[in-house]
Structure 1
Amino acid sequence: MAYAIGLCVDEGYLVPALTTITSLADTLPPRERKDVAIRVLTLDMTRSHAETMADFVRQVGFGSFDLRWCTPSQAALMVDDSYISVTTYLRFHFTPHFVGREYLIYVDADTQALGDIAAPLDDLEPGRLGVVQDEFIPTVGVSEALPGLVEARPEFRGRTYYNAGMLWAPTRMLAEVRKGIEQAMKWGSSHIFHNDQDALNLWLLTTSAAQQVNGAFNQFELSRFLEFGDWVSRVVHRPASTTASAKLVHFVGPHKPWQASCPATEDVIRYRAHLTRTMRQVHRLGDLSIEVPEGRR
């Protein structure tokens, strides 16, 4: 099954994106890795860093790489911007021609792959977008997500709310996704708080395009949050340490594993091992201008 892995990367997330690519490479045997394409959309990456990224992707064994500079839609609305940039909206700008494969798997750059993230493609129905239910906001109307929506549209209360950090899509439906989200951002702009994720959910609530994927393919790393309080135990109904069965761990929230201030949980330690290998490879390529970020995106 021909697929590409897509990432949206700005200068602040270059090293995390490369680390995610390292982890993705580790999940695939070399022969399979050569058949997988990496596709990157960026708003501000320098050309020298883009060249380094291309070299890096080839070095770790992926068979195809392409990068494109683009800008988000003018309708893109940033409300929750404490550690997120408008680059996050680029996930809706992949095109079939650019992807060049039958399927696109979109991956957030603050993730670590632990298993085969392409497995959900085996069950993906035509015209459906694979998405995972959000662990912090499982349903519409229970948090600050989509403010005011259930008051205006009570029929949406209790519907599934999805995380935008992993998406599985047939490339032939990418134009439909982009158009639908453009329309959702126009009629539902007053209900957006979590930026592109709320925009995605606005669209999915009005279509039958969502196909739920097992949570193991986008599982939140929770132990970091417990270092600052126990609220996560009241929200997520699974033990915080249970990422052993995860196919992909997602480091949501402001405490990122590449930051020295992030609590050194088991998953963070494992991530930092990938980070060390990644930086070693970057330096072998001769680009000493790339550094591990510490501040906000």
Structure 2
Amino acid sequence: MATRSRGSRLRRLLLATLVATSVAVPMTGATRPGAVPAPVPAPAPPLGAATPAALAERYAASRAEILAAGRTAARHGHHWRASMLREMAAPARHFLSFDGRDGGRTVEVFGELSNAQRIAVLVPGAGINLDKYGLLRGGSMRLREALGDGSAVIAWLGYATPSSVSLQAMTPGRADEAAPGLRAFVRELRVARPGVRVSLLCHSYGSVVCGRAAPGLDVADIVLFGSPGAGAADAAALRTPAAVWAGRTAGDWVGGLPHVSIELPFVTVGLGGDPISPGFGARIFAAGGGGHSDYLASGSTALASIARIVSGRADDDA
């Protein structure tokens, strides 16, 4: 009976992936983000303290990397990417790091990191890369506005995300690769800004990245939203002292996925337990209506709830 149940769950999981693949609109004629060449970036200068001078140095170094990637893209005929990178290099924008290779990795700051007392690190999910970066940037800007003065939001695109519709997005492999980088970044942030409140905000597949990075991580909150799983059976398995929160909008298709994790000989298929289920043990926050990409939409219930958590004003009934 156990073998039959396990096989049934695996069939459901694979069927969900195949159905999603069948309804996806193929991007015919589009250049894959990873196919755009970019130079190898120089190592980012260490951020020993988040003083205005140290941050200015780090931002300037990242801006130089963005401009170099733009010139490389232009030389190879990728003019749309080159134009986008010129916009990213505007003096008003602040990047802690940038790497244009393999779809792109970048870390952008919204707000004044040098004096923020509340810092949210936003980890995106599948399908986010340089060509789709506007989605992550827009959500970060809206969250920063909702949080107000004394806060900063950091958009952490620090890993090669899986394609939105792929078997890779149904396994924790990319998250396992990403977790050490996220842990290292949070440690650097804690050294640079000791004593401030740091919250980890994890959307969609980003929840798996956060789950893999969670054990012992020095953050106040881990917030899972639009989550297909966190790569763990429950909140206790994350082995974190942080408060674990979870929310899902009423129209999010992720709710229809089979929340299982099945060990096969060479791969784990599935992303673990459902974070909003009672058995997972997370604190549930109100997310209201909307779909999978609407959690940080202007005026949304989810945005208000997440801002309350980051600010430390949420309670167990939020």
TM-score, normalising length: structure 1: 0.31
Structure ID, larger Rg? 2
Choose between structure 1 and 2 for higher RCO, CA contacts under 8 A separated by at least 6 residues: 1
